[in-house]
Structure 1
Amino acid sequence: MSEIKIIASNKCWIEDIAKKQLEDISNLNGVLKIVGLPDLHAGKIPVGLAVETSDFIYPHIIGNDIGCGMTLFKIGISKKKFKKERWIKSLDKIKDLSDIEIADIYEEECPILNLGTIGSGNHFVEFQCVNEVYNKEEFEQLRLSTDDIMMLVHCGSRNYGETILNKFYNKNGIEVESDKARAYMESHDKALIWAERNREAVSKKIMQSIGTSGNIEKILSINHNFIEKRQDKFIHRKGAVSSESGAVIIPGSRGSLSYIVMPTENTEISLYSLSHGAGRKWSRSICKSRLKNKYNKDNIKQTKFKSHIICNDINLLFQEAPEAYKNIEQIIESLIEYKLIQVVATMKPLITYKG
């Protein structure tokens, strides 16, 4: 069995089934080390982990949403020009993002059937504003100001990533020197590009729907599900981000703050990886029964920050309720305790859109 390390403080609860899943992965051929991050939770493959391998790669660890990640945009609109009620009204009119047409700016054929859509589950678009700045120098280097309205888009490569996984799935892994591994990595890298393009297309559609093209500027973009070659090793990340590409945004649930953080030079202990979010606390199947007496169809669309959620799927609203997620502050505290990050700023939700 290879080395397993869990990065989490005593306050940060990690379910036993997720730990058992790490043990199962540790028995795969070529696995050298596994790190479970504080947002670790169980799934078909546990989410919130990094796996280092040699000789073999494992497409099923990455899963079907290759390149799922987050892009933070500055939209060229200040707080005083933010028209919350008008924007909510406009976004409420969207039946499906696939109905909104935008110009095709790419020469090659798009492998995503509905470019500019976010899908379901925990994917979202969220307008945010700065809540508090902790490191002014790093904050200003990101070309941000406390007067900016930001847009955070969370989605991935949609059907394209699923097509790739179906083609290359092999629970026993693929030898890295094989033609199949090279073909997978070529498709994988293409999916990363199209996942980011998909987030860009979503941002344009959202801005178009509220009646302004704005001046959209990408501040940072990070992937959650991908393989990164590092020297002669391969780091598989499932629900984890690289610490080697500068600033990272770590969102909580729709009812909590998001954190912009700067990785430290200590992330070798976490396989150069950081948490991608708060991580689920409850399975989707139990959320509605646990929360049906707390929320109705109206108040479930409001948060303690007085932000508003736009979603026509009542079941999804319950599944994605803040209570279903771990406490983002505990996730951040764990990363600080292990000296993996410095907090740059926190962002507060204003409007959350779920397709």
Structure 2
Amino acid sequence: MIKIVKSEKSWIESNAVDQLKKISTLKGIIKAVGLPDLHIGKTPVGASYMTKDIIYPHIIGNDIGCGIGLFSTGFKKTKFKIDKSVKKLEKLDMLEYTSDSIKNIDFPFKEKLGTIGSGNHFAEFEEVNKVYDEKALNEIGINKNEIYLLVHSGSRRYGEYILNKYIKEYSCQNGLELGSDAFNEYMNEHNKAVEFAKLNREIIAHKISSCVNSKENKKLLDSVHNSITPKKIQDEIHYIHRKGASPSDIGYVVVAGSRGSNSYIVKPTDNLLDYAFSVSHGAGRKWSRFGCKEKLEKVYSKKYVRQNNMKCNLIYSDKNVIYEEAPEAYKNIERVIQDMVDEKMIEVVASLKPLITYKK
């Protein structure tokens, strides 16, 4: 069964749909779902699959455990000085004190803990922009008058190492059968990578919060976008493969916007079996990173970039991120949210407005 969540106003490239259809033909796949942020990748991003008795590690890709966490800062909106915080963050070296904070941690590639990584990963200070459900916001523990930190990152080189290992040694792209040694070994390593990625987000949040002298650093929400998760359905275990998709069965989640646009806290509705228990994880790319600079260099001149008019308080080390992560390269987050609302997949709790984006 294939399901694509879209409306007449949505834009989903046909190549992404073709990718989804191709994967849906793999042995043991019961359901394939393309969410409103569906776009092309090595395997389609913004997709979720349900299997029985077999898993496909290549579907979720190399960034196992990639996800997004929302953390408190203790800053009141009226007390948070954006310009002052930007200056401090520009001087922050994420690797500077990593060794002290992870010396007692037992993980492969632990030197990568506390680093954001490239691509669409980021840390971002947010303010609550609009409240749709105050009761839900209170239930999460969010004060609409305070500042919050959103962290999007994954398992860094650890997840890549795991995927390459299982492709090379077990040809996992052909599937790993339930009960096999390869299945059990992969799931064990997969679960460790998920924990690595969660810890990575926590360490990133701690470093950035400390840099701006945040009063607190409490994790309020966390959702994983790339994973294989067992799910009991009618007394049988199925495996939900998510590639750039948020779980719908863990409570509230954040759906991230692109740079300069709002993100949303949403509450998935109950029993989204038809959608493989998943909702969109973000806006989804409209353009691939390749070619973004060529398309936007004339729009964003060097002088314009230098004057900081379009950076939206963006702190970065690779100037290509200006183009690759530009709002124009992404779909409209409001359209993605509305498509899910119309499908009765989610209820919107609040929108978050970005204040500072850190991508070093």
User: TM-score of the superposition, structure 1-length normalised?
Assistant: 0.95
Indicate the RMSD between aligned Cα atoms, in angstroms: 1.6
Matched pairs, number: 349
Deviates more, 1:35-44 or 1:85-94: 85-94
CA distance in 2, matches of 1:187, 1:144: 34
2:247 aligned with 1:242? yes
Structure 1, unpaired ranges of 5+: none
CA distance in 2, matches of 1:105, 1:313: 26
Query: Contact between 2:258 and 2:326, CA under 8 Å: does it hold in 1?
Result: yes
Letter in 1 for 2:193: A
1:121-270 → structure 2 map (5 Å cutoff)? 121-169=119-167, 170-210=172-212, 212-231=213-232, 232-265=237-270, 267-270=272-275
CA distance in 1, matches of 2:81, 2:251: 32
SS at match of 2:320: helix
Aligned-pair CA distance for 1:12 = 0.9
Aligned-pair CA distance for 1:302 = 4.6
Query: Contact between 1:266 and 1:340, CA under 8 Å: does it hold in 2?
Result: no
2:65 aligned with 1:64? no
Aligned-pair CA distance for 1:162 = 0.9
Query: Contact between 2:67 and 2:152, CA under 8 Å: does it hold in 1?
Result: yes
CA distance in 2, matches of 1:100, 1:316: 25
CA distance in 2, matches of 1:214, 1:103: 21
CA distance in 2, matches of 1:102, 1:344: 38
Q: Percent identity?
A: 49
In the alignment, which of 273, 280, 291 is matched to residue 286 of structure 1?
A: 291
Aligned-pair CA distance for 1:104 = 3.0
CA distance in 1, matches of 2:273, 2:31: 12
Aligned-pair CA distance for 1:329 = 0.5
SS at match of 2:293: helix
CA distance in 1, matches of 2:142, 2:161: 37
CA distance in 1, matches of 2:47, 2:79: 40
Where does residue 114 of structure 1 map in the other structure?
Answer: 112
Structure 2, unpaired ranges of 5+: none
SS at match of 2:174: coil
In the alignment, which of 87, 90, 93 is matched to residue 92 of structure 1?
A: 90
Q: Deviations over 1:264-291 (max 9, x none)?
A: 1252221110000000001111211111
In the alignment, which of 340, 345, 349 is matched to residue 350 of structure 2?
A: 345
Aligned-pair CA distance for 1:228 = 0.7
SS at match of 2:317: coil
